[in-house]
Amino acid sequence: MQNDEILFDIPLRDLNSWRVGGVVDQFYFCTDKEKLSYNLQKRNFKLPIMFIGLGSNTLFRDGGFRGTIIAMHKGLNHIKLEDQLFYAESGVSCSKLAKYIARLGYANSAFLAGIPGTLGGALAMNAGCYGSETWDFVDKVLTIDQNGIEHLRKKEEFDIAVPGPLLQLLLGDGAKVVLEGQQVASERLDQLGFSFRYPTLASALAAATS
Ligand SMILES: Cc1cc2nc3c(=O)[nH]c(=O)nc-3n(C[C@H](O)[C@H](O)[C@H](O)COP(=O)(O)OP(=O)(O)OC[C@H]3O[C@@H](n4cnc5c(N)ncnc54)[C@H](O)[C@@H]3O)c2cc1C
């Protein structure tokens, strides 16, 4: 696939770990954030836009996606250390970031090695394991909006995903709406005989936090 060019009618199965999904109308492999910003400013992408990393937490519909998918993995993949803070681009894989941090002698990042996605995905999901979560270690995030404008945001400006049991404590029965309100079934996975160990978000959260 060509980098930083808008491609048309690309099969989604190549863009997620589950190898499922139909065709996306437009696809863009981002390696340069200035070019990304330019294309956003010029309204070159069909809406809606979805950013993806490694596609390890994404199931695409067989009907495909009627918009633009922008892939970040390997494209934006620089890491640097400055004034005791690590700066990593969103396409950096969590395992690469974990190794980079560990080699420089810093602790507490080992959990990232267990997450098979990108930093962008880890931020979107608040990925975590072994008792640590991504956002515990975030100071600020550079984002880009649909007009191509960058924003440097502090951690405090984000609504960070909360574990299910805490939601239940806070919302009582209302937590059901949040935890069980969105369920997606894939006909093809059913046909292939695949079943999820944790079929609902609530059971997955309970297992992850027990
Ligand atoms: C075998 C396996 C083991 C796993 N183990 C764990 C685990 O231990 N802990 C855990 O938390 N998760 C785990 N996961 C889930 C998944 O790996 C993580 O949620 C990971 O953080 C997803 O990253 P990704 O780059 O693959 O995201 P994707 O699947 O590509 O995207 C996930 C979501 O993030 C959004 N997103 C991705 N990149 C960006 C970006 N740059 N900007 C804006 N939005 C973005 C997407 O739109 C989508 O909504 C596991 C998955 C698998 C398959």
Q: Can you give the pTM of this predicted structure?
A: 0.81
Options 3.40.50.1370, 3.10.20.520, 3.30.465.10, 3.40.50.300; CATH for 79-157 is: 3.30.465.10
Q: Look-up: residue for tokens 């709406």? A: 177
Please report the beta strands in the chain, taking only residues with DSSP state E, as ranges in sequence order: 6-11, 23-29, 49-52, 65-71, 79-82, 85-88, 128-129, 132-133, 140-144, 150-154
Distance in Å, CA 1 to ligand 1 centroid: 22
Residues 6+ apart with CB under 8 A from 181: none
Tokens of 139: 């100071």
**Ligand 1 closest atom vs CA 57:** 29
Cα 117 to ligand 1 centroid, rounded to whole Å = 5
Cα distance between residue 123 and residue 56, in whole Å = 14
- DSSP tag of 201: H
pLDDT digits (tens, 9 = 90+) for 174-191: 555 554 544 445 555 566
User: What are 132's two structure tokens?
Assistant: 């640590």
Q: What CATH number should be reported for the domain whose range is 6-71?
A: 3.30.43.10
pLDDT tens-digit readout, 102-151? 999 998 889 999 999 999 999 999 999 988 999 999 999 999 999 999 99
| Domain spans of the chain, in order of start | 6-71, 79-157, 164-208
